[in-house]
Amino acid sequence: MSLHGDYDSQNIFAKIIRGEAPCYKVYEDDDVLAFLDVFPQSFGHTLVIPKRAAARNLLEVDADSLTKVITVVQMLTKVLVAELQPAGVQVAQFNGAPAGQTVFHLHMHIVPRFEGEALAVHAGGKAEPEALAALQARIVARLAA
């Protein structure tokens, strides 16, 4: 897909927002949803998406929605760093298939980076549901503390 086109309301993230597809939710408010990536590149890989903006990428999102998303990205990055103690953290956002975008609903990746561990191939392997549920519980508990 190119950078330009029509928003597909049947994409997996739109379905997650509507409750038609499951996710390992770690945060939600009226405007933003964050959940664990089921095909993580690293332990703790989290996705943050706008709920109200039908934007395929950064070029299409309104400034208010983008502000709300990046505010949650910063907050969750702090939580992930505190909980998982990575050596670093990568925040990424891709626009168009040639840039690596695979779901055409604006989303940001928070990817904890651990010393001596290479990133897994994007969408290369699915995480175990038990591991995702346990990590989800840890992050939600830290947010509630």
pLDDT of residue 123: 77
Instruction: Give the residue numbers marked as catalytic.
Output: 107
Are 73 and 93 spatial neighbours (Cβ–Cβ below 8 Å)?
no
Which domains does the chain carry? 12-144 (3.30.428.10)
Using CA atoms, how far apart are residues 13 and 48, in angstroms rounded to an integer?
10
Are 89 and 108 spatial neighbours (Cβ–Cβ below 8 Å)?
no
Question: Tens place of pLDDT for every residue, the chain, 145 residues?
Answer: 678 899 999 999 999 999 999 999 999 999 999 999 999 999 999 999 999 999 999 999 999 999 999 999 999 999 999 999 999 999 999 999 999 999 999 999 999 999 999 999 887 889 999 999 999 999 999 999 8
pLDDT of residue 1: 62
pLDDT of residue 49: 98
Helix, strand, or coil (residue 127): coil
